[in-house]
Amino acid sequence: SIYDALVVMAQDFKKGQPLVDGHGNFGSIEGDGAAAMRYTEARLQKITQEVYLKDLDKDVVDFVPNFDETEKEPSVLPVRVPNLLLNGADGIAVGMATSIPPHNLCEIVDAVKAYMKNNDITVKGLMKYIKGPDFPTGGIVVNQDDLLSIYEKGVGKIKIRGKVEVEKGRNGKQYLVITEIPYPMIGANIGKFLNDVAGLVESKKAPEIVDISNQSSKEGTRIVLELKKGADVERITNLLYKKTRLEDTFSVNMLAIADGRPETLGLKNIIEYFLDFQYDLTTRKYQKLLAKELEKQEIQEGLMRATDIIDLIIEILRGSKNIKQAKACLMTGATEGIRFKSKASEKAASALDFTERQATAILEMRLYKLIGLEMDALLKDHDATLKNIASYKDILENHKSMSRVISHDLDMIKKTYAIPRKTSIENVGAAVYEEKKA
């Protein structure tokens, strides 16, 4: 099951944004299975590393024991886009099923940013940005008017048609070329479509079709129907929509686990949950970064203070019997057992109160750090640390600043991984076909 999941994540005809870069035979759009795992190789796509796994090292999500408690694994990935919308989801659990269509990354980012600017935006308002599903196989969604209800309730049916083009051949011949197929047709249903067309020819419902060939390749889908001279192209196209899977239905049921329980979500609900998650991730990330910068500040200020009294510190080190004694003197001013050159030095040492972290850094400091240029670098680092601390505190304390960070991240993701929309969204009437009377 793990390998099957990996295979699906590598198939660009199933996922709008494949998450795995597969090398070898990973199956085909016509339903061919992938090669056994010993014959294939896989690595993560760049988007997976940058958008799905980034900041895992910053304690942004909880880690839990894995199935046999030998390792820790993240309870959830710190994904920076709503993957539920981007790649969709389909699956069956105990008494429940989910079916969420994939969407376009650019449109999702624009909708999320619109919600951030106005939390009261309606689903209709969000649909100015998310026009509808964007299937990796393209096709045409023909019931645009139904999408609003689907996105409000989280359930409904999307009608999708394949894209048909007419090509002219020699001697007035015409060819119907299917260049995009409905998303539910991928797999064995392509073979079924070819058989259905052959059945229509045999039953004399489509006598104008002379030949059918599947010329699809890695470059894309291309199913060619050769027609008799003077054939009624519109009638045949409508016949295919009516009698075959060239027009199909995608049942939407946007069921997801929200706050630990299954819930049917509308478009706005998904974005709300996603942004709550993003604010939580960003808070944890910048708390971790702030803690690191405060630690650096503490050490830097300790070293800066130490360089001003370096002679006294060297005297403490030379007069101490062991490192523990020297460290205690630096932290608490305990001078007992340490040999000093003068009472003044002993008095000055008794006033020291470095923190444990500062004392450790001082004891580990190398003498070349006392060179002028090294001191300048320390001062510059300290200034940069103070700026970072101010910036991180502003992000953590100011909701608008955090929103700007999240918005900037989304813009960068959109700029880097944008893909043009493949599926057209239209309002088209039902295919009308009248059978010819013998």
Over residues 79-94, the pLDDT tens digits come to 999 999 999 999 888 8
Instruction: State yes or no: pLDDT of 175 exceeds 70.
Output: yes
Among 15-19, 87-91, 205-209, the least confident range: 205-209
SS3 167: strand
Query: Rounded CA gap, 138 and 132, in Å?
Result: 12
Is residue 213 within a helix (H) or strand (E), and if so which, with residue range?
A: strand 209-214
Instruction: Please report, for residues 124, 175, 244, 367, the alpha-carbon distance to residue 311 in angstroms, rounded to integers and kept in the order given.
Output: 72, 92, 90, 12
Give the active site residue among 39, 241, 392, 417.
Answer: 39
Instruction: Please report, for residues 23, 47, 54, 296, 312, the alpha-carbon distance to residue 44 in angstroms, rounded to integers and kept in the order given.
Output: 11, 8, 13, 34, 55
Q: Are 102 and 72 in contact (CB under 8 A)?
A: no
DSSP classification of residue 172: G
When pLDDT is averaged across residues 301-321 and rounded to a whole number, the result is 90
Instruction: State yes or no: pLDDT of 59 exceeds 70.
Output: yes
Q: Are 65 and 72 in contact (CB under 8 A)?
A: yes
Instruction: State yes or no: pLDDT of 190 exceeds 70.
Output: yes
Query: Rounded CA gap, 317 and 363, in Å?
Result: 9
Residues 134-162 pLDDT 10s: 999 999 999 999 999 999 999 999 999 99
Strand partners, 148: none
Share of the chain above pLDDT 70, in %: 98
Q: Are 124 and 3 in contact (CB under 8 A)?
A: no
Instruction: State yes or no: pLDDT of 253 exceeds 50.
Output: yes
The pLDDT assigned to 189 comes to 86
Among 23-37, 328-342, 420-434, the least confident range: 420-434
- State the pLDDT confidence band at 438, using cuts at 50, 70 and 90: very low
- State the pLDDT confidence band at 433, using cuts at 50, 70 and 90: low
Smallest CA-to-CA distance from 98 within 231, 214, 254 is with 254
Beta strands in 127-195 (DSSP E): 140-141, 155-161, 163-168, 174-180
Residues 348-385 pLDDT 10s: 999 999 999 999 999 988 877 777 778 888 899 999 99
Q: State pTM to two decimals.
A: 0.87
Written as six digits, the tokens of 126 are 């969000």
Asked if 39 is an active-site residue, the reply is yes
Of residues 168 and 280, which shows the higher confidence score? 280
Instruction: State yes or no: pLDDT of 188 exceeds 60.
Output: yes
Residue written as token pair 């030095």: 345
When pLDDT is averaged across residues 280-288 and rounded to a whole number, the result is 96
Q: Are 26 and 11 in contact (CB under 8 A)?
A: yes
- State the pLDDT confidence band at 171, using cuts at 50, 70 and 90: confident
- State the pLDDT confidence band at 434, using cuts at 50, 70 and 90: low
The pLDDT assigned to 231 comes to 83
Q: Tell me the average pLDDT of the chain.
A: 91
Among 47-51, 167-171, 206-210, 226-230, the least confident range: 167-171
Radius of gyration of the chain (CA): 33
Full strand arrangement of the beta sheet holding 163-168: 163-168, 174-180, 223-227, 209-214
The pLDDT assigned to 217 comes to 82
Sign of the Cα torsion 326, 331, 334, 339 reads: positive
Instruction: State yes or no: pLDDT of 168 exceeds 70.
Output: yes
The pLDDT assigned to 436 comes to 59
